[in-house]
Amino acid sequence: MASIFSKIIAGEIPSYKVAEDEHHFAFLDINPIAKGHVLVVPKHETDYLFDLDDALLSSLTVFSKRVAKAIEKSVPCQRIGVAVVGLEVPHAHIHLIPINGVYDVDFNRPKLALPAEEMQEIAATIAENL
Ligand code: AMP
């Protein structure tokens, strides 16, 4: 069965998309721990990030860099933190999180509940800054 992220990539489930190319896709995390929290995924469905072949892992990292630079321009922050967890969704993904301190990458913090309009605006701003 297709993962929830494959359904997002296929447009079967809505998302706040920020970037896409032939092999990669980026969208806002629906339960963000910071404004501008983005997930970057390979279109090819593989559960575990480190099971990706070298070429795709490399290109995903380069794509993440491009998205991270756009988030930096869009959300006030010191830098973009990077996290890989993957315990919830079995489709490899990289979390890009605007941070001002190490506390900002604490996944145990309460998730932000942002209105849809604000999520849309954040996604659009990041997309414009790519
Ligand atoms: P993990 O697999 O532990 O890295 O966590 C999966 C992440 O995906 C969590 O931060 C969720 O909030 C996020 N997530 C789950 N479903 C969706 C969705 N439909 N759209 C955007 N983000 C999602």
CATH number, domain of 29, equals 3.30.428.10
pLDDT confidence band for 96 (50 / 70 / 90) = very high
Give the total number of structural domains in the chain. 1
Could you tell me how many helices (H) and strands (E) the chain has, helices first? 3, 5
Structure confidence at residue 116 (pLDDT): 98
The CB of 87 under 6 Å from ligand 1? The reply is yes
Rounded average pLDDT over 102-110? 94
Active-site entry in 24, 91, 93, 95: 93
- The confidence band for 129, taking pLDDT boundaries of 50, 70 and 90, is very high
Burial of residue 7 (CB within 10 Å: 0-12, 13-18, 19+) is middle
For the entire predicted model, the pTM comes to 0.98
8-55 pLDDT tens trace: 999 999 999 999 999 999 999 999 999 999 999 999 999 999 999 999
Range of the domain at 83: 4-128
Q: Is 72 in the pocket of ligand 1 (CB under 6 A)?
A: no
